[in-house]
Amino acid sequence: MHDQTALLFELFVIFLAAKLLGEIFERLLLPAVLGEILAGALLGPFALGFVHPNDTLPSITEIGAIFVLFHAGLEVSPQGLIRVGRKALLVAVLGIIVPFVLGFGYMHWRGDVVTESIFVGAAMVATSVGITARVLGDLGVLASRTAKIILGAAVFDDILGMLLLALIEGLAHGGGVQWGRLAILAGEASVFALFMIFLGPRIVSRIRPGMARLSTRNAPLIIALAVCMGLSYASAKIGMAAIIGAFFAGMIFAEYSPEWDLLPRVHAITEFLGPFFFFSIGSQLNVRLFRGEVLVVAAVVSLLAVISKVVGCALPLIKEGWSSSLRVGVGMMPRGEVALIVALIGLNSKIVTQATYAVVVFMAAVTTLLAPPLLRYLFRGEAKVADVVRT
């Protein structure tokens, strides 16, 4: 009973602190998610030591991460993705290769071991579609061609990031680079992704008439949740991260999300569980490490993350002019959940040191902080006073 009271206290304090700092960040026009992470860093064991979330809350944190990615997947329609086509895919691919090569190259040149360097490179890859979409929505330019390319590319980017994460998970388990195992995992992950993109939505559309006949209230939500947990388990079971399954589970329901009103409902669950995940990311961050060499490495990695993403993503669009290609490049800049999850997996499996973890979190924060003001500046001509839809 007293453990129960302690758990309730932690839940309350974590939720309140995360949301309070989120609110403060929003008022400063900064992404709320960074406020939630900061709350974790401040209250966590490395600073005030007020909360030790990893003693009692690991399962809630884990489920929080799953819902953050499930929710992200729900906003990604495979149909829309296939339509946006090759331009976005090209942007995504170059936007992955350039950062990975630069990140890996720099860390390896510094003398880090191969696996740790791969982790840093991988963390520099994935664009956070949520933050970009939010800023473009606030500016009221979501309908522009540039915005469509950014969002399409960010989504491809997420999927490719998921594949890379699958490989990374393999690394974490294997304890080193085992090329045979990596190849098998790459195959598995690709089949998984292709299956989800092309067959998943069809299966959902098949079972759709049957769902209407179910007696359970909210049957579509229930089934989506069951599929989310099932695929999370399945991807953990075959050696990938659980969140990969959650992301694809969201994606195969994306097409029917408006019809079944899934997004606001899953969003409510994410609103509740997500903060525990972001808080936990912060709580594992040793803020005292940010000095001397670590700070230099963090600054260099952040700079490389900015440059590599802008250059990589702008390159395929260079013919369309300086302005368009720069907008796309900057729009692809913010790294978010995926970078942090990569870092966390590395930290938990002891491949990545506390210092490198701090570097990656720093990089994710810098890119996420820089993108919104830069985007506002680059779109200053087109931006309308938007009706900010608060869902």
State the nearest-atom distance from the C-beta of 390 to its own copies, in Å: 5
State the nearest-atom distance from the C-beta of 217 to its own copies, in Å: 5
Separation between Cα atoms, residue 257 and residue 211, nearest integer Å: 14
Separation between Cα atoms, residue 306 and residue 105, nearest integer Å: 15
Separation between Cα atoms, residue 330 and residue 187, nearest integer Å: 32
C-beta of 19 vs 148, nearer to its own copies: 19
12 is a contact residue toward its own copies (CB under 8 A): yes
Is residue 386 within 8 A of residue 322, CB to CB? The reply is no
225 is a contact residue toward its own copies (CB under 8 A): yes
Encoded one letter per residue, x for contact with its own copies by CB under 8 A and - for no contact, window 203-222 reads -----------xxxxx--xx
Which residues inside 24-53 make contact with its own copies, applying CB under 8 A?
26-27, 32
C-beta of 60 vs 301, nearer to its own copies: 60
Is residue 236 within 8 A of residue 62, CB to CB? The reply is no
Helix (H) or strand (E) holding 239: none
Across the strands, what pairs with 244? none
377 is a contact residue toward its own copies (CB under 8 A): no
Which residues inside 156-175 make contact with its own copies, applying CB under 8 A?
172-173
Closest by Cα among 87, 82, 153 to 316: 87
Q: Which residue in this structure is represented by tokens 């696996």?
A: 115
Which residues inside 332-361 make contact with its own copies, applying CB under 8 A?
348-349
Is residue 280 within 8 A of residue 15, CB to CB? The reply is no
Tokens of 283: 């709580």
C-beta of 232 vs 368, nearer to its own copies: 232
C-beta of 236 vs 303, nearer to its own copies: 236
Stretch that binds its own copies, among 20-28, 289-297, 322-330, 378-386 (CB under 8 A): 20-28
195 is a contact residue toward its own copies (CB under 8 A): no
Distances 137 to 31, 64, 80, 239 between C-alpha atoms, Å: 14, 25, 18, 36
Stretch that binds its own copies, among 3-11, 101-109, 200-208, 319-327 (CB under 8 A): 3-11
Encoded one letter per residue, x for contact with its own copies by CB under 8 A and - for no contact, window 48-77 reads --------xx-xx-xx--------------
96 is a contact residue toward its own copies (CB under 8 A): no
139 is a contact residue toward its own copies (CB under 8 A): no
State the nearest-atom distance from the C-beta of 306 to its own copies, in Å: 26
Task: Return the residue of 265, 311, 353, 376 that touches its own copies, per CB under 8 A.
Answer: 265
385 is a contact residue toward its own copies (CB under 8 A): no
Is residue 374 within 8 A of residue 131, CB to CB? The reply is no
Task: Return the residue of 11, 182, 299, 315 that touches its own copies, per CB under 8 A.
Answer: 11
Separation between Cα atoms, residue 196 and residue 338, nearest integer Å: 19
* One-letter-per-residue 3-state SS of 316-379: HHHHHCHHHHHHHHHHCCCECHHHHHHHHHHHHCCCCCHHHHHHHHHHHHHHHHHHHHHHHHHC
Is residue 72 within 8 A of residue 155, CB to CB? The reply is no
7 is a contact residue toward its own copies (CB under 8 A): yes
263 is a contact residue toward its own copies (CB under 8 A): no
258 is a contact residue toward its own copies (CB under 8 A): no
226 is a contact residue toward its own copies (CB under 8 A): yes
Total chain residues near its own copies (CB under 8 A):
52
Q: Which residue in this structure is represented by tokens 């690394």?
A: 171
Tokens of 256: 């029917």
Burial of residue 143 (CB within 10 Å: 0-12, 13-18, 19+) is exposed
Binding site for its own copies (CB under 8 A): 1, 4-5, 7-9, 11-12, 15-16, 19, 22-23, 26-27, 32, 56-57, 59-60, 62-63, 172-173, 214-218, 221-222, 225-226, 229-230, 232-233, 236-237, 242, 264-269, 271-272, 348-349, 390-391
